[in-house]
Structure 1
Amino acid sequence: RNFGWSAAVCQQNALPLSNLITEAAEAIVVPKKKTWSKEAVLQALAATVNRDSTAAHYMFQDDPYLTPRTSAEFKLYSLSQESGRLAAKHIVNTNPKFFQKDFAEPHIPCLMPETMEPRIEDVSEAALLERIMLRKVKAAVDMYDQLLQAGTTVSTDATNDLLDLICLYGDHDPLQDDKPEDKGRRRKGRPQRAIDLVKIVWRENNNAERIFNLLPERDTRAYSALIRGMVKYGAHVKAFNTYTDMLNNRLTADVHIFNALISAATEVREKYNEKWDLIVELLKQMNEQKVKPNLLTFNAVLKALRRCGSLARAQSLHTLSEMKALGISEWGKNTFASHIVFCSIFCPVSSLQGQTDILQEVLTEVAGRSFVPQDPDDGMHAAFWFLKTVCLETKDLESAYRVHNLLNVGENWRLLGDSFQQSIYYGRFFNLLCMMEHIDVVLKWYNELIPSLFYPNPQGMKDLLQALDTDNRLDMIPQIWKDIRRMGHDNKSDLVEELLSLMARDRHSPEVQESFAACALDVRSLYKQGQVAKVALEWTTASMTNITTILLAAQKTKQAWDMLNIFKTKNRVPSEELIDEFLVRIKDGQQAVELVQISASFCLPSTPNLAQRVLQEFELSEEQRWQLTTTSEVPCLSSDERSVFYRPYSSQMYVLCRLFNKM
Structure 2
Amino acid sequence: MHFAYVKMASPGMHAGRHILNNSLRFLNNLEQTCLRRNIAWTASALQKIAVASEGSSDEIVIPRKKTWSKEAVLQALASTVKRDPTAAHYMFQDDPYLTPRTSGEFKLYSLSQESGKGAAKYFINSNPKFFQKDFAEPHIPCLMPETFQLQIEEVSEAALVERILLRKVKAAVDMYDQLVQSGTTLPLDLTNDLLDLICLYGDQDPKTDDSDPEQKTEEVEEVQDDPRKRKGRLRRASDFIKVIWRENNNAERIFNLMPERDSRSYGALVQGMVKHGAYSKAFNVYTDLQNNRLTADVNTFNALISAAPELREKYAEKWELILELLKQMAEQKVRPNLLTFNAVLKALRRCGSMARSQSLLIIGEMKALGITPSLASYDHILGIFFKAAASSQGHTEILQDVLNEISGKSFEPQDPDDVMFFLNAMRVCLDHKDLEQAYRVHSLLQVGDNWRLMGDSYQQSVYYGRFFNLLCMMEQIDVVLKWYKELIPSLYYPNSQGMRDLLQALDTDGRLDLIPQIWKDIKQLGHDNKVDLVEEMLSLMAREKQSPEVQQSFAQCALDVKRRYIPNDFGKSVLEWTANSLGSITSVLLAAQERQQAWEMLKLFKASNRVPTDALMEDFLSSIKEVQDADQAVELVQLAATYCLPVTPTLIERVEQEFELTKDHKATLSSLEFSSDDSK
Q: How would you bin the TM-score normalised by the shorter chain?
A: 0.7 to 0.9
> What are the residue-to-residue correspondences of 1:354-393 with 2, within 5 Å?
355-379=395-419, 381-389=420-428, 391-393=429-431
CA shift digits 1:217-257 (9 cap, x unpaired): 11121111011111222222222221221222232221111
Where does residue 4 of structure 1 map in the other structure? none
How far residue 409 of structure 1 moved from its aligned partner, in angstroms, is 0.8
**Which AA in structure 2 matches 1:155?**
P
1:545 aligns with 2:586: no
Which residue number corresponds to residue 380 of structure 2?
Answer: 341
SS in 2 for 1:277: helix
Contact 1:475 1:512 survives alignment (8 Å): yes
- How well do the aligned residues superpose, as a CA RMSD in angstroms? 2.6
Name the amino acid aligned to 2:336: P
* 8 Å contact kept, 1:608–1:633: no
> Could you tell me which residue of structure 2 aligns to residue 142 of structure 1?
174
Which among 613, 616, 628 is matched to residue 657 of structure 2? 616
Instruction: Give distance in 1, aligned partners of 2:678 and 2:200.
Output: 76
Q: How big is each residue's C-alpha offset from its partner over 1:583-606, in whole Å with a ceiling of 9 and x where there is no partner? A: 222222221222222122222233
Cα offset for 1:133?
Answer: 1.8
- How far apart, in 1, do the equivalents of 2:491 and 2:96 lie? 16
Q: Once the 2 structures are TM-superposed, how far is the Cα of residue 298 of structure 1 from its aligned partner?
A: 1.7
Which secondary structure does the structure 2 equivalent of 1:634 belong to? helix
Amino acid at match of 2:502: L
User: For structure 1, which runs of at least 5 residues remain unmatched after alignment?
Assistant: 1-29, 639-660
CA deviations on 1:413-460 (whole Å, 9 max, x unpaired) are 111122232112111111111111111111110000000011100011
Match of 1:275 in 2: 318
Q: Aligned partners of 2:669, 2:432: CA distance in 1, in Å?
A: 62
Q: Deviations over 1:294-316 (max 9, x none)?
A: 11112222223333445434433
In the alignment, the residues of structure 1 paired with residue 84 and residue 298 of structure 2 have an alpha-carbon distance, to the nearest angstrom, of: 46
Higher relative contact order (CA 8 A, sep 6+): 1
2:186 aligned with 1:154: yes
**TM alignment of 1:15-414, pairs within 5 A:** 33-178=65-210, 192=237, 199-309=242-352, 311-329=354-372, 334-349=373-388, 350=390, 352-353=392-393, 355-379=395-419, 381-389=420-428, 391-414=429-452
- Compared CA separation, residues 400 and 211, structure 1 to 2 (3 A): same
- Rounded to whole Å, the distance in 2 between the matches of 1:75 and 1:212 is 45
CA contact (8 A) 1:384 1:425 kept: yes
Cα separation, 1, equivalents of 2:573 and 2:500: 19
> 1-side partners of 2:393 and 2:315: how far apart?
25
Deviation at 1:146, TM superposition (A): 2.1
CA offsets, 1:547-572, max 9 Å, x none?
10000000000000101221121222
Q: Distance in 2 between matches of 1:549 and 1:65?
A: 40
C-alpha change, 1:178 and 1:272, in structure 2 (3 Å) is same
Q: Residue 596 of structure 1 aligns with which residue? A: 637
Counterparts of residues 408-557 of structure 1 (less than 5 Å) = 408-530=446-568, 535-557=573-595
1:603–1:637 Cα contact (<8 Å) kept? no
Residues 47 and 547 of structure 1, relative CA distance in 2, 3 Å threshold? same
Distance 2:459 2:246 in 1: 34
Give % identity: 68
In the TM superposition, residue 531 of structure 1 has moved relative to its aligned partner by: 6.3
Kept in 2, the 8 Å contact 1:455–1:487? The answer is: yes
Look up the equivalent residue of 2:603 and give its one-letter code: N
Contact 2:387 2:394 in 1 (8 A): no
Instruction: Indicate conservation of the 8 Å contact 2:159/2:175, yes or no.
Output: yes
What secondary structure is seen at the aligned counterpart in 2 of 1:574? Answer: coil
What displacement does 1:159 show? 1.2
Paired AA for residue 529 in structure 1: P
Q: Retained in 2: the 8 A contact 1:430–1:460?
A: yes
Q: Which moved more, 1:348-357 or 1:137-146?
A: 348-357
Distance 1:310 1:370, change over 3 A: same
Q: CA deviation at 1:634?
A: 3.0
Aligned residue identity for 2:95 = D
Q: 1:344 to 1:191 in 2, by over 3 A?
A: closer
The letter for the 2-side match of 1:121 is E
CA shift digits 1:71-121 (9 cap, x unpaired):
222122222222112111111111112222334455443322112332323
Does the CA contact (< 8 Å) of 1:302 and 1:316 recur in 2? yes
Question: What one-letter code is carried by the residue in structure 1 that aligns with 2:648?
Answer: T
The reply to whether residue 633 of structure 1 matches residue 665 of structure 2 is: no
User: Does the 8 A contact of 1:600 with 1:632 survive in 2?
Assistant: no
CA shift, 1:197, in A, is 5.5
Query: What SS does the corresponding residue of 1:481 show, helix, strand or coil?
Result: helix
SS in 2 for 1:234: coil
Unaligned runs of 5+ in 2: 1-61, 224-228
Q: Residue 17 of structure 2 aligns with which residue?
A: none
From the superposition, tell whether residues 531 and 488 of structure 1 become closer, same or farther in structure 2 (CA, over 3 Å). Answer: farther
Q: Corresponding residue for 1:10? A: none
CA distance in 2, matches of 1:111, 1:219: 38
CA distance change for structure 1 residues 511 and 604 in 2, over 3 Å: closer, same or farther? Answer: same
Contact 1:548/1:563 (CA < 8 Å) preserved in 2? yes
Does the 8 Å CA contact 2:122/2:209 hold for their aligned counterparts? no
Cα distance, 1:542–1:352 mapped onto 2, change above 3 Å: closer
Please give the alpha-carbon distance, in whole angstroms, between the structure 1 residues aligned to 2:592 and 2:569: 25
For residue 455 of structure 1, give the secondary structure of its aligned residue in structure 2: coil
Deviation at 1:348, TM superposition (A): 4.2
SS at match of 2:415: coil
SS at match of 1:243: helix
How many residue pairs get matched?
A: 602
Are the equivalent residues in 1 in contact too, given 2:386–2:394 (CA < 8 A)?
no
User: In 2 relative to 1, CA 61–307 (structure 1 residues): closer, same or farther, beyond 3 Å?
Assistant: closer
Alpha carbons of structure 1 residues 629 and 159: separation in structure 2 relative to 1, 3 Å: same
In 1, Cα distance between equivalents of 2:297 and 2:454: 32
1:255 and 1:293 in contact (8 A); partners too: yes
Aligned counterparts of 1:319 and 1:605: Cα–Cα separation in 2: 71
Matches of 2:325 and 2:678, distance apart in 1: 84
